[in-house]
Structure 1
Amino acid sequence: MSIIVENNLKNTENQEIFEQKAHYIPCKIEDDGPANVQKYFDTYVKETDGELTASFRGHPLDGAKLKVPEGYSAIIVTEAKRPLAEDSERKFQVAGGFKEFINWNWDKKPSQNDNIVRAMDWIDISEAIHGD
């Protein structure tokens, strides 16, 4: 199976499309459709002394803002039509991007021990090992 990512936005003058808000929430939602995050989630996010709190379906969340490492880009991709066969070629289109996101936890305060934070640390480690 091959995956193709088409970037139809690379020559766009509108940089706002690359400054979308993103949230990383540790849950699985059985839907790929649009969600009115601004109305039903963002309005309930509270920031006190740099700490973010919210709730999702009654579960309390603690969050922290994280920046994408310098020199890297985070993109949002969409797939218009998923193929019927698993080994078929898949095509995705770039729908936008972001430079920072909010990492949410259910049961603990965000820290340097969170998996997503540790994964981003590996970018620096990899560059130190494999860089020039």
Structure 2
Amino acid sequence: MVSEFTSIDGVAQAPGSPDEDRSGGFEHGGWIFQFEHGPEDDEDVEDDEFKLNEVLKSDALLFGRKTYEILAAYWPNVDSDDHPMAAKLNSMLKYVASRSLKDVEWNNSTLIEGNVSDEISALKREAADDRAASRS
């Protein structure tokens, strides 16, 4: 499953602050908030619940370097006792595909080195084997 915030014209970026990722001269950081969190509706609560349920149903996460760095700078500092998303993200398995990172420090994170496609295929096989074993 892929979960991504993408505009109709193909801009993919997290729903963070306007200054979250301005690399490459990108001028539209935080663009999604005006659509995700309307001032007078409760859709933001529904959206937050959807994202939480999506993460709660996941066994592991696969990140690229940039997404990993953004999330790893924030979520470990959120009290897991008070926030179900923090509890799940901080405890679950995380795989990071990067050629430039040398190590990953966020709890339960593994750096994928070498052929990313091969490594992801191996992770999928391993997960399928684990599911099959749990059924028997």
Quickly name the TM-score band, shorter chain normalised.
under 0.3
**What TM-score does the superposition give when structure 2 sets the normalisation length?**
0.25
Which structure is higher in strand share? Answer: 1
More helix by share: 2
**Higher RCO (CA < 8 A, seq sep 6+):** 1
